[in-house]
A = this chain, B = another copy of it.
Amino acid sequence: MSEEITQRIEQLIRSDEEVGAQLYAEVAEDLEPDQVALLLESLPREERLECWEQVPAEQRVDVLVDMRAEARIALVRELDTQSLDQLISDLDAETLIELGESLPDDVVDIALARMDERQRAHYERSAQFDENAIGRYVDHDLLILPQNSRVRDAERLLRREVPEFTTHLWLVDRTGRYAGAVLTTRLFGQPDHRPLTELLDEEIEPLAAQRSLKEANEAFEHAEVSALPVVDDSGLLLGRMSVRLAFELLHEQYEAQLMASAGLDEEEDLFAPVLRSSRRRATWLGINLLTAFLASWAIGLFEGTLQQVVALAVLMPVVASMGGIAGSQTLTLIIRGLALGQITTASVMPLLRKELSVGGLNGVLWAIVIGIVASWWFSSPAIGLVIALAIVVNIAAAALSGVLIPVLLHKLKIDPALSGSVILTTVTDVVGFVVFLGLGSLFLL
């Protein structure tokens, strides 16, 4: 969003209600539906409805589609019957699919009843696919020709109204199976009777409807087109999927990864009700608590030592946190590598060698620094030696875990972005405390 619009929205939100409505009217014409959606999400829930009422009726459906599911559901729940009725008065199949889960079932039924037969058929076909399948997001508005058509047929079709964002014509065989794509630009200067099959765009490969959205995304990254055809498992052309969707998916995918690393849901609404947010986050805190008690238990093994050498208790966080940070650096690198597909079974050993070397170097470097500081702080070279050794061991353990934990989780089909970091810090905490306090018991008592 441009800086200027952001500023005006800030102004809008800061102002009181009446001024707000006026300001909204001023910016509204410059705002795309997704910007209005963002504006709504950035408002506390009680103010959303007020702002929503300022959104022009013809823009409302698009705004809803662009909102995150959780915020959308919350908003829809607050609309009265009349507003809902207006909203669904003229939906096409694609929009109803996107809004479907946020709407009460009876409202979906009414919307379906109002559709013409063709749109309803489209809806029912798309609804068969699950949320993660390409087939669910098909756009049915496209130009289709029989595969034995000629340039003149294509030109005749194109002289009529063409759907938005049309760049290709799609060819099908007699049974409706996908038979190729023709870039409309290639038609110019071609003899009228030339078969379209001689002009096929070889760059275009159809997407399989039952495959995952992730694959659609990869296809778009290679194709440099604004839409790709979608076929079912018998090869029937179902429609096209647009590049805009691929962008949205990419955003969602990364967002989900970012949020997962803190045990959050990607759809999480900034202003979700306190109770719901608390419940969701409690799980993650609970898991973490178990691992924290594990660390405490490790420390508890050395109660006697700690009583005699309090300096060890003071320095414990240094050992644990250096291990945690070193480990999370390796972990992040490996998680990215796994996500990109850079890491294979064969590359694990060389990676381990490299990360252990990096860990070894940094371990020794920081062990010396920390050892000197600790010796000076507690006027005890023995303490300096103990912590220096513990740092070297813990950073090496961190490098090892940073490589092995995500690779193992990946093999077990568990997303390392979600749980990798908890497991890693548990390892570095426990190893760090046991080695540090163990060495302390040996050398300092």
Q: Identify the A interface with B (CB < 8 A).
A: 1-2, 6, 9-10, 13-14, 32, 34, 38, 41-44, 155, 158-160, 162, 164-167, 183-189, 215, 218, 220-222, 224-226, 242-244, 246-248, 250-251, 254-255, 257-259, 261-264, 268, 270-271, 274-275, 277-278, 281-282, 284-286, 288-289, 291-293, 295-296, 299-300, 303, 306-307, 310-311, 313-318, 320-322, 325-326, 328-329, 331-333, 335-337, 340-347, 350-351, 354, 357-358, 361-362, 365-366, 369-370, 373, 425, 429, 433
With A281-B362, A295-B321, A362-B285 known to touch, is A159 a contact of B184 (CB < 8 Å)?
A: no
Give the nearest-CB partner of A244 in chain B: B224
Q: Bound complex: CA of A259 vs CA of B333, how far in Å? A: 7
B344-A42 in contact (CB<8A): yes
Residue in B185, B226, B262 whose beta carbon sits within 8 Å of that of A243 in the complex: B226
Give the nearest-CB partner of A331 in chain B: B262
A314-B299 in contact (CB<8A): yes
With A159-B189, A332-B259 known to touch, is A285 a contact of B325 (CB < 8 Å)?
A: yes
19 further interface pairs, Cβ-Cβ under 8 Å (given A167-B167, A281-B358): A10-B344, A38-B342, A42-B342, A162-B185, A165-B225, A167-B183, A184-B184, A221-B248, A259-B333, A264-B329, A270-B333, A271-B350, A282-B362, A285-B362, A288-B325, A293-B318, A295-B318, A300-B314, A306-B310
Give the nearest-CB partner of A188 in chain B: B158
Closest Cβ–Cβ distance, residue A289 to chain B (whole Å): 6
A317-B296 in contact (CB<8A): yes
B358-A277 in contact (CB<8A): yes
Selected A-B contacts with CB under 8 Å, 15 pairs: A2-B215, A10-B346, A13-B346, A34-B222, A184-B184, A187-B188, A221-B248, A254-B258, A261-B332, A262-B331, A274-B354, A282-B366, A295-B317, A296-B314, A303-B311
A336-B274 in contact (CB<8A): no
User: What copy number does this chain have within its complex?
Assistant: 2
Q: Which residues of B contact A329 (CB under 8 A)?
A: 262-264, 281, 284
B314-A361 in contact (CB<8A): no
A247-B221 in contact (CB<8A): yes
Q: Which residues of B contact A9 (CB under 8 A)?
A: 344
B295-A303 in contact (CB<8A): no
Q: Bound complex: CA of A433 vs CA of B314, how far in Å? A: 10
> Which 6 pairs, one residue from A and one from B, show the smallest C-beta to C-beta distance?
A159-B189, A158-B188, A262-B332, A13-B346, A313-B313, A254-B254
B289-A370 in contact (CB<8A): yes
Q: Bound complex: CA of A164 vs CA of B183, how far in Å? A: 10
A292-B318 in contact (CB<8A): yes
B331-A285 in contact (CB<8A): no
Q: Which residues of B contact A315 (CB under 8 A)?
A: 296
Q: Bound complex: CA of A1 vs CA of B341, how far in Å? A: 8
Taking chain A's interface residues, is the majority helix, strand, or loop, or is none over half, making it mixed? helix
B373-A293 in contact (CB<8A): yes
A357-B274 in contact (CB<8A): yes
A188-B165 in contact (CB<8A): no
A166-B185 in contact (CB<8A): yes
B310-A303 in contact (CB<8A): yes
Q: Which residue of A160, A270, A282, A366 has the most chain B CB atoms within 10 A of its CB atom?
A: A270
A313-B318 in contact (CB<8A): no
A284-B325 in contact (CB<8A): yes
Q: Which residues of B contact A14 (CB under 8 A)?
A: 344-346
Q: Which residue of A188, A255, A311, A425 has the most chain B CB atoms within 10 A of its CB atom?
A: A188
Closest Cβ–Cβ distance, residue A165 to chain B (whole Å): 5
Q: Which residues of B contact A247 (CB under 8 A)?
A: 220-221, 246-247, 250
Q: Which residues of B contact A325 (CB under 8 A)?
A: 262-263, 284-285, 288
With A247-B220, A325-B288 known to touch, is A38 a contact of B340 (CB < 8 Å)?
A: yes
Give the nearest-CB partner of A337 in chain B: B270
Q: Bound complex: CA of A246 vs CA of B370, how far in Å? A: 45
Q: Which residue of A184, A262, A307 has the most chain B CB atoms within 10 A of its CB atom?
A: A262
With A244-B224, A315-B296 known to touch, is A336 a contact of B259 (CB < 8 Å)?
A: yes
Q: Bound complex: CA of A337 vs CA of B255, how far in Å? A: 11
Q: Bound complex: CA of A146 vs CA of B38, how far in Å? A: 40
Q: Bound complex: CA of A282 vs CA of B268, how far in Å? A: 35
